[in-house]
A and B are shown apart, each in its own frame.
Chain A
Amino acid sequence: MSIPAHSLEFEGRQVPVEPTDTIASALYRAGVRVFSRSFKYHRPRGLYCLTGDCPNCLVTVDDEPAVRACCTSASDVRRVARGNAWPSADVDALSILWHVRAMLPVGFYYKTLIRPRFAWPLAEPIVRRIAGLGPVPRQSTPAHRERLTHHPEVLVIGGGVAGLAAAGAASEHGAPVVLVDEGRIGERVAPGDTRRRIDWLRDGLRARPHVTVLERATAVGIYEGRLVPVVADDALHLVLPQRVIVATGAAERHAVFPGNDLPGVWLGRGAARMAGVHQLALGARVVMVIAADEGLEHLAALRASSVTVIAPAAIASRLPSNVRVLEDYLVREAKGRRHIRAVVVESPHGTRHVVPCDALVLSLGVEPRDGLLRQVPDPAIRGAGDVVTPGCTLDEAEAAGAGSTPVSRPMPYAFPADARGFVCLCEDVGADELEHAWHEGYQSTELLKRYTTTTMGACQGALCHPHLRAFACARTTWDPASAPTTARPPARALRVEDLAAGTRRPVEYRTSLHERHVAHGATFEWAGVWRRPERYGDALAEYWAVRRNVSIMDVSTLGKYRVAGRDAAAFLERLYPCRIHDLAPGRSRYALLLNETGYIVDDGLVCALGDHRYYLTFTSAGGDRAEAWLRDWAETWGSTVHIANVTAATSAINVAGPRARDLLERLTRDPVDAKRFPYGGVREIVVAGVPCLALRVGFVGELSFELHHPSRQSPALWDALMTAGQAYGLVPHGLDALRLLRLEKGHIIVGQDTDFDTTPARVGLARSIRMDKPDFVGRLALEHLSSLPHERSLLAIAFDGPRAPVEGAQLFAGSTHLGSLTSSRFSPVLGFGIGLGWARHPNGQPPARVVARDSAGDVRGAVVHGPFYDPAGERLRA
């Protein structure tokens, strides 16, 4: 006996682990026979298929639920537990549910506990608690995995004989091939002819560097475009091949008879693997049913002192002489409580006998594991091997993999009329429940599937789908009613962590001044996709720098576009609700962007540069959206315009404050006085040697120059401004100060103070709209809306004191609820709280006073008109 490599903890005891052990074999060797409790009835379940096709061995491994013990190596595992049982899987009190199953018919949750109405909310948490596959761990940290792409000529899914042959044939002349297999190739196959063939084919691929083999990698689906995601331990592999060969083989046929789910009932491959690979005996007295040639290999692998074989004559004649044979008998029932102890068999003459046993092995042939193959009809996707020709020989499988035409070999299967037993092990659905559902009117495979949940469990129909079809076939001659159910990805259960591979880190857009902000000690926040400085330290000092001296802000995130062409003016005239044609070169205008329903989607500036050229700005969040908007309308109208997104190539720094002009005059020889560069003007000037397109803007309510310049020169310009600005006490300001400054001017932030259905009139910007224009985007809608009563609007509120309610505080007039605050701050320069908020007009007019209510109490305020600060705009027009 080999020395165990290590041990794992299993429900309070240490279980030794051999180097080649799976969790299943290690636990089985330690005497574990009940591996789980069934989903609904809590029946004991033991090892069954050992090929990953059944739910019986789902256990919790290192806090991760629903791990297949038969397919998972035990070498890296610390702790295993069984779930879905109370108090334990060995003695589960909830197994009483099997004895009261008459109260839990199929679809019982549609019928039971519905009346009285309070019953279901009380029952639901209990039902959820006692069903399921185990709790999801809440504390564990998801592992980081990458997302990798492959572009092979051929993708082969399945590392059996057909798949390996396919990979060999496809790669023979150097074409890149990717081969994926759920496990380690060959590890689930018992020693014998099949295993030898697999090993030989695998060795042939080792010498081909252009063949990439991904083991322990599961192809979860085939999506349109021939995208095949493959989930592996190390990464999510996205494979985009030219051709796909699906060689996923076949699952062993699952038999339906009473007691077919008892521990001790095995499928042939599972039994052979346990005995042949892990050298573990299934029992002393084994009854084996062999209905396919492969069963002879399984028999050879078994280690039992006594084997009784039930087989048809054609197979019985090839059995070894030391086995007891029951020729042409049928299995009618497996008897036992927590483990099989006998099998009831029926002779060809109809007499029944009880055969004592401690293991029942079923080698009944195979059914194609064709879920992946049926997902996307595509001539570049073909199957090979058992998946299209179930039960093919090794030579046929190898030839099919290499590209030969598969031999059609139908496997007729009829669902016995009097069948009893579990059809769907995953969802605990018996044959009688299918019968019940059929009589209730669910008379097709799709309806039966949805109503009974057959095929919707962990195996995704690998074992039960053939029975579902056969059941329907036996009861209807209408083909659509017995058609295969629609195959959809994922074919295997996925973790959300798998889908998130490679996306753990969000894409962070940075301006060319990012390192300067870091050096200045900025704290950053997200502004859409951008990382922007929220503050550099003292946000109040930054605010006062703007109000009293001068400050600078990185506004490079603004969307920026150049538009040129003979139709540029007409195009923009039609796009924007404001006038464009009278915008003289060197002038800018604030402009709203409306959609066709008249609602605000963005705002910014339109700057006329002359010679049919314009420069447009948009908000940081709206900049990228604007490109599609501009191009769509240009194409719709057939406008001859050229549109260039210069957002990244052009940076911008806003110089704002009463001393802004003084600062600039130290760095430029170009005129920046009020007469030659008035408010709203646009000028090309050179500042500190950097060519700039300067805009006189007023978002923060002070004298401001927004300097747009090439991004590579932004750090130099920033440094020059910072250095020269020291004489004026310059500090940069971030978003925190900006939001307060603009609020004092009553300026909206699109997306914060506006909603998806905000019209200009509702936010007091009707003056930005020229309804006398013949046409612009949204005009028709605004015309209609103007005829409707004005039911709500954005109000400017001056609070009766320094406290500013939190944003989101609810607004009332008396006891009447009006709306809520969208922006709210204490104004240092004014000395009281101010806010913007949406309010209904209960009496057809906006209220004169409101009460804002948050968790700290009520704050009263007056509705004001016009900006809170510098209403006449003298400071920004200086």
Chain B
Amino acid sequence: MPSRFTIFRSDAAVIACHASPRVLDAMPGVSGTYAARIAADESMLLGSGASRGAILRSAREYISAIEPDALVLDQSDAWWVTTIPDAGRQLLNRLSVVRPPDERPAFYQGIVAGLPAKVLIDARAAHVLVPSPVGHHLESRIRDVWSADDTLDIGLAPLTFND
């Protein structure tokens, strides 16, 4: 791992779509977002925090037109998002009980740093989502496994994706 490294606390939009599988299957992509399929009847749209309102409106418009009883909720406040640039891939390997997939993009759920997490990996970074009530643990635990000889910075940045 490099001797000086920066990870980011990311301002992210997390929109949860609870609808029937057929509606989610057919849902078109929303610009600037990744859609992570959590379950057959649940999809999570991830995007930049600044686009939260737009993503929510777009998702609601599409889903409610087909399934008025579906739930489309802004769950951004429920998640703490930390972005680890790809140069720190070994860091994620050290912290993740589930083996990070090799394909890109990739999405998986499992324990990271002892916390329940969802991880989205794009071409240049891994975005780790943990429940916001325990988010304060994630960065301290990352520091614990970081080499004491090196420097780890934590910055703030909007969530962006790299294809």
Binding site for B on A (CB under 8 A): 146-151, 238, 240, 502-503, 505, 507-512, 530, 562, 564-566, 568, 611-613, 640, 642-644, 646-650, 710-712
Assembly CA distance A150 to B94 (angstroms): 6
| Chain A residues within an 8 Å CB radius of B96 | 149, 151
Assembly CA distance A151 to B110 (angstroms): 14
| Chain A residues within an 8 Å CB radius of B115 | 507
Query: Are B41 and A240 in contact, with the CB atoms below 8 A?
Result: no
| Chain A residues within an 8 Å CB radius of B78 | 646-649, 711
Select which of B71, B131, B132, B133 is within 8 A of A642 by beta carbon.
B71
* B136 contacts the other chain (CB 8 A): yes
Assembly CA distance A629 to B95 (angstroms): 30
How many whole Å from B138's CB to the nearest CB in chain A? 11
Query: Are A648 and B145 in contact, with the CB atoms below 8 A?
Result: no
Query: Are B93 and A507 in contact, with the CB atoms below 8 A?
Result: no
Query: Are A642 and B99 in contact, with the CB atoms below 8 A?
Result: no
| Chain A residues within an 8 Å CB radius of B18 | 564, 642-644
Query: Are A508 and B134 in contact, with the CB atoms below 8 A?
Result: yes
Contact with A along B90-107 (1 / 0, CB 8 A): 000111110110000000
Query: Are A509 and B133 in contact, with the CB atoms below 8 A?
Result: yes
How many whole Å from B57's CB to the nearest CB in chain A? 16
- Beyond A240-B99, A649-B78, is A642–B114 a contact (Cβ under 8 Å)? no
How many whole Å from B151's CB to the nearest CB in chain A? 18
* B144 contacts the other chain (CB 8 A): yes
Query: Are A711 and B137 in contact, with the CB atoms below 8 A?
Result: no
| Chain A residues within an 8 Å CB radius of B99 | 151, 240
Query: Are B69 and A711 in contact, with the CB atoms below 8 A?
Result: no
| Chain B residues within an 8 Å CB radius of A148 | 94-95, 145
Query: Are B100 and A644 in contact, with the CB atoms below 8 A?
Result: no
| Chain A residues within an 8 Å CB radius of B20 | 640
- Can you report 13 residue pairs joining A to B where beta carbons are below 8 Å apart? A148-B95, A149-B93, A149-B94, A508-B134, A509-B133, A564-B71, A646-B73, A648-B79, A649-B75, A649-B77, A649-B78, A711-B78, A712-B77
| Chain B residues within an 8 Å CB radius of A642 | 18-19, 41, 69-71
| Chain A residues within an 8 Å CB radius of B79 | 648
| Chain A residues within an 8 Å CB radius of B41 | 642
* B76 contacts the other chain (CB 8 A): yes
| Chain A residues within an 8 Å CB radius of B73 | 562, 644, 646, 649
Binding site for A on B (CB under 8 A): 16, 18-20, 41, 68-71, 73-79, 93-97, 99-100, 114-115, 131-134, 136-137, 144-145
Assembly CA distance A564 to B73 (angstroms): 12
Query: Are A711 and B70 in contact, with the CB atoms below 8 A?
Result: no
Assembly CA distance A417 to B50 (angstroms): 83
Least CB separation from A151: chain B residue: B99
Select which of A502, A566, A568, A649 is within 8 A of B74 by beta carbon.
A649
- Beyond A240-B97, A712-B77, is A512–B132 a contact (Cβ under 8 Å)? yes
| Chain A residues within an 8 Å CB radius of B16 | 644
Main secondary structure, interface of B, reads mixed
Select which of B71, B137, B145 is within 8 A of A508 by beta carbon.
B137
Select which of B68, B69, B100 is within 8 A of A151 by beta carbon.
B100
Query: Are A149 and B132 in contact, with the CB atoms below 8 A?
Result: no
How many whole Å from A525's CB to the nearest CB in chain B? 16
Query: Are B114 and A503 in contact, with the CB atoms below 8 A?
Result: yes
How many whole Å from A344's CB to the nearest CB in chain B? 58
| Chain B residues within an 8 Å CB radius of A566 | 69
Among A507, A568, A649, A712, which residue has the most Cβ atoms of chain B within 10 A? A649
| Chain B residues within an 8 Å CB radius of A508 | 134, 136-137
Query: Knowing that A564-B18, A642-B18 are A-B contacts, what are 13 other residue pairs whose CB atoms are under 8 Å apart, sorted by A's residue number?
Result: A146-B145, A148-B94, A149-B97, A151-B93, A564-B69, A564-B71, A566-B69, A611-B68, A644-B16, A648-B77, A649-B76, A710-B74, A711-B77
Least CB separation from A227: chain B residue: B97
Assembly CA distance A613 to B74 (angstroms): 16
How many whole Å from B130's CB to the nearest CB in chain A? 10
| Chain B residues within an 8 Å CB radius of A712 | 76-77
- Beyond A148-B145, A565-B69, A646-B78, is A711–B132 a contact (Cβ under 8 Å)? yes
Assembly CA distance A518 to B28 (angstroms): 45
Assembly CA distance A275 to B145 (angstroms): 41
Least CB separation from B100: chain A residue: A151
How many whole Å from B55's CB to the nearest CB in chain A? 15
Query: Are A648 and B133 in contact, with the CB atoms below 8 A?
Result: yes
| Chain A residues within an 8 Å CB radius of B114 | 147, 502-503, 507
| Chain A residues within an 8 Å CB radius of B100 | 151
Least CB separation from B110: chain A residue: A149
Least CB separation from B136: chain A residue: A510
Assembly CA distance A238 to B97 (angstroms): 8
Assembly CA distance A612 to B16 (angstroms): 19
| Chain B residues within an 8 Å CB radius of A503 | 114
How many whole Å from B136's CB to the nearest CB in chain A? 6
Assembly CA distance A75 to B79 (angstroms): 48
Assembly CA distance A509 to B16 (angstroms): 22
Assembly CA distance A613 to B71 (angstroms): 9
| Chain A residues within an 8 Å CB radius of B132 | 512, 648-649, 711
Query: Are A646 and B75 in contact, with the CB atoms below 8 A?
Result: yes
| Chain B residues within an 8 Å CB radius of A568 | 69
Assembly CA distance A510 to B76 (angstroms): 16
How many whole Å from B71's CB to the nearest CB in chain A? 5
| Chain A residues within an 8 Å CB radius of B145 | 146, 148
Assembly CA distance A507 to B131 (angstroms): 12
Query: Are B144 and A511 in contact, with the CB atoms below 8 A?
Result: no
| Chain A residues within an 8 Å CB radius of B75 | 644, 646, 648-649
- Beyond A503-B114, A648-B132, is A512–B77 a contact (Cβ under 8 Å)? yes
How many whole Å from A652's CB to the nearest CB in chain B? 13
Query: Are B97 and A511 in contact, with the CB atoms below 8 A?
Result: no
Least CB separation from A212: chain B residue: B90
| Chain B residues within an 8 Å CB radius of A562 | 71, 73
| Chain B residues within an 8 Å CB radius of A646 | 73, 75, 78
Assembly CA distance A793 to B68 (angstroms): 46
Least CB separation from B116: chain A residue: A507
Least CB separation from B111: chain A residue: A149
Assembly CA distance A562 to B99 (angstroms): 33
Query: Are B77 and A710 in contact, with the CB atoms below 8 A?
Result: yes
How many whole Å from A89's CB to the nearest CB in chain B? 40
Least CB separation from B132: chain A residue: A648
Assembly CA distance A648 to B131 (angstroms): 7
| Chain A residues within an 8 Å CB radius of B76 | 649, 712
| Chain B residues within an 8 Å CB radius of A613 | 69
Assembly CA distance A508 to B115 (angstroms): 11
Query: Are B71 and A644 in contact, with the CB atoms below 8 A?
Result: yes
Least CB separation from B112: chain A residue: A149
| Chain B residues within an 8 Å CB radius of A710 | 74, 77
The 8 A-B pairs at the shortest CB distance, nearest first, are namely A642-B18, A648-B78, A711-B77, A649-B78, A151-B99, A509-B133, A649-B77, A642-B71
Least CB separation from A515: chain B residue: B136
Assembly CA distance A511 to B133 (angstroms): 6
| Chain B residues within an 8 Å CB radius of A711 | 77-78, 132
How many whole Å from A225's CB to the nearest CB in chain B? 10
Assembly CA distance A148 to B94 (angstroms): 5
Assembly CA distance A647 to B136 (angstroms): 17
| Chain B residues within an 8 Å CB radius of A565 | 69
Assembly CA distance A640 to B135 (angstroms): 33
How many whole Å from B81's CB to the nearest CB in chain A? 13
Least CB separation from A714: chain B residue: B77
| Chain B residues within an 8 Å CB radius of A238 | 97
Assembly CA distance A566 to B69 (angstroms): 7
Query: Are B134 and A509 in contact, with the CB atoms below 8 A?
Result: yes
